[in-house]
Structure 1
Amino acid sequence: MNDHFDRAPGAGRARHHPADPGFMGDSGDGDAKPSLFNQREPLRQPRTSPPFSENNISPSGDMVSGDCKRQSKPQYNTPNANSPSLSNDVSSLVKSSKLSASAPEFVPSTFTLSDDAAAYDDSEIYYPEPTLADMVTDFLGHLSSSPGSFDSDVEYITSMLNGCVTTEDLLQELVELIYTQSTAIPNFSYTGARLCNYLSHHLTISPPSGNFRQLLLKRCRREYEQRDEAVRGDADTQKKFHSFVLFLGELYLHLEVKSAKGGPNRADILLTGLKDLMISLFSNPVDGNLICAVKLLKLTGSVLDDVWNERGQSHMEELIQRIETILLDATCSRDVRQMLLKLVELRSSDWGRVRSAAAASNATPENDPNYFMNEPTFYTEDGTPFTAADPEYAEKYQEILDRQDYFHDVYGENGNDVFDFEDEMGPEIEEAYENFCLESEKKRQQ
């Protein structure tokens, strides 16, 4: 069955037997006849080749005598660069071509753009401008995660807001966004108060309803007026109210108001508000309200005490008496009682401040409580710390110095032994040591 099967590419397609019985003759001399592999048709021209004129196509489609080569497809003659017919064909193709070198992209004529591809056309995609809420949320999120960059970024943030906040409604929205984020993000009240102070002085818009600072104080007043209901509300209401109280404390410390004399002062309206808020917190002495009051007094107690003392007001004494009354009633938990006791002790020590520090030249352990503040702390062998303020400091410190001198004499400055080996080595040891050094030197030289 395979006697006349031709394995050459393109051979045997016309079902004609070859002139020879096989690839190799049957004669005993073993001479090989020409292989049909060398007589196969030429490789087909690329499909993208320009079509030549019909004059170059061989009209013959018949079989060549004795060959398996078939002219079923038009065969192209080798083009000659100097042939006038070739140049005319190329010129005609260039004139009739619809291709353009300035086209943005090449799309074959047989390619059809699907509906999905057309739907994702970049030229028709619309990217909306970021809203004020998105911008402020990004700014505050950045300041919350990187509070150390406040001084370097606040000017850029303010310039962006000056370009966006151009109407009264947008200013109201900005105030609400900053207030909400300052009371909702944990530990952001400090940075939020600093941002409010900066914007109150650098935002250019000032509508008839009020500037940024005035609108912010109006927003805080709304929460202030609900203080009596908030301290008796549910857990979520109290938590929201406590965040507002701590933010208002930070705002009192950082918000600066220009006075008639020219120097910036704190907002006195916040001073009165903080007193009323603490009275409301103590009026319902549950753990959450008491903890909030302790945090507020630790934050602003020293400043409030100084201002009220300058004005001859005893508001701080009244607050401390309320705390002592709560301690006597013992209605709060043990941990909260401990916090209140620590707060009373802190206030009795003038909020931990030292006012009568002597000059550095005249300072002595008797007249300056900070005399030993910069002295180092040492530890005994059993791990007990002691400083220069310790009565036994001199004795213990001398023991440490003696111990250091001992180790220095034995091990040297860098921990190396400093024993005098020359005095302790005998003649035999010295000779052996010298021989060892000589052998080591010879090995290195080899």
Structure 2
Amino acid sequence: MKPIRVAMLGCGTVGREVVRLLREQADELAARAGAPVELAGVAVRRPHKHSDLGDLITTDASGLVTRDDVDVVVEVIGGIEPARTLLLEALKSGKSVVTANKALLAEDGPALAEAADASGVDLYYEAAVAGAIPLLRPLRESLVGDRITRVAGIVNGTTNFILSAMAASGSSYADALEEATRLGYAEADPSADVDGYDAASKAAILASLAFHTRVNAADVHCEGIRAVTATDIAAASAMGCVIKLLAICERTPAEDGVPESVSARVYPAMIPAAHPLASVDGAYNAVFVEADAAGQLMFYGQGAGGAPTASAVLGDLVAVARNRVLGGRGPRESAYASLPVRPMGTLRTRYHVSLEVADRAGVLSAITGEFAHHGVSIAAARQTGEGDDNGSARIVVVTHKAPEAALAATVDVLAGLDVVHGVHSVLRVEDLGRKGVAG
């Protein structure tokens, strides 16, 4: 059979593993794809670092992706540009594309999908979310006959490692981040991970696939873990919970005149220690998918790293190669539902609010009165510990489910009261039950 020729964009941690697997497993990949899968070239910025690849190396990425002898382009360089321009050139030239670029897909996925459709080629991106875990293909193919109602889980290994370390040792966020950096789990600039942007890009992709609706990164409410303290970790433990950075995507039925909608958000939250997600430690990922007929499904495994991510890239590459051999195509973008994205302020969940207040009579009554005034029902309110020498005490309030906007308004008012010395933390409490937090 005529070989399937592959152009690689990037040869970093993931790209090197892809090249290694293509070479070491050449015979098996050929048998699975129905034809040999060969490297046509590898585009890099610093060729002197890749002398082992010989004549395959080029710095002319645009020339490589439009070459007549290239069938598939694999992109593992990341970022928006030049990846967007290169992939659009590849698709318009009739090349199928395999990418691991979650940021680009969350921002410009529809443009890539339209370019693929126009040329009648494939766009695959399993490696963009949760590394080696087969998650996107089940959403796009295995569950296409079902109605998915929620996708929720841990999709960033760096933040999960940090929070797990804080819980295990009682260390501060700064110390846990330093350890994650030393071990290679965190980048020198960890902002994309710890501020939630990486997880938000993945949430946009998951929501788009699960709900047949175009959701981009700007639609995802995003909060990171920088503000999580050892005190918060201890407070969660006292409630029988752990704190995890969650990506939650939900489909909410029409009710009370509000049309059916979808939501996507990322934030640190307390979850019951008995929930399976609570035991996911270190740099691992885990995602729950809920569907009407299938019920609850859990996907678990290594969510990052060179070899795990390369495994997902190779899976896509074999699928695309097989389609090229047989003259067919994989699934196209499905955005028929086109549901509106529900505003964050209307979503309902429970909250854990920690306040430093004046240690005197009547303060608790004043605080609970503000919650009542804004329509936020309190499940429990208590003072923790004794008042300090400065005349301050700590009060913790746990609410019933309430709209985000109502809770935010309550906290704003509380922060301005003379008897409140500070709002230390506001954390959501997610039970992740069948009805979902937006019900």
Q: Where on the TM-score scale, by shorter chain, does this alignment land: which range?
A: under 0.3
Which protein has the bigger strand share? 2
Give the TM-score, by structure 2 length.
0.24
**In terms of Rg, which structure is larger?**
1
Say which structure, 1 or 2, has more relative contact order (CA 8 Å, 6+ apart). Answer: 2
Which protein has the bigger helix share? 1
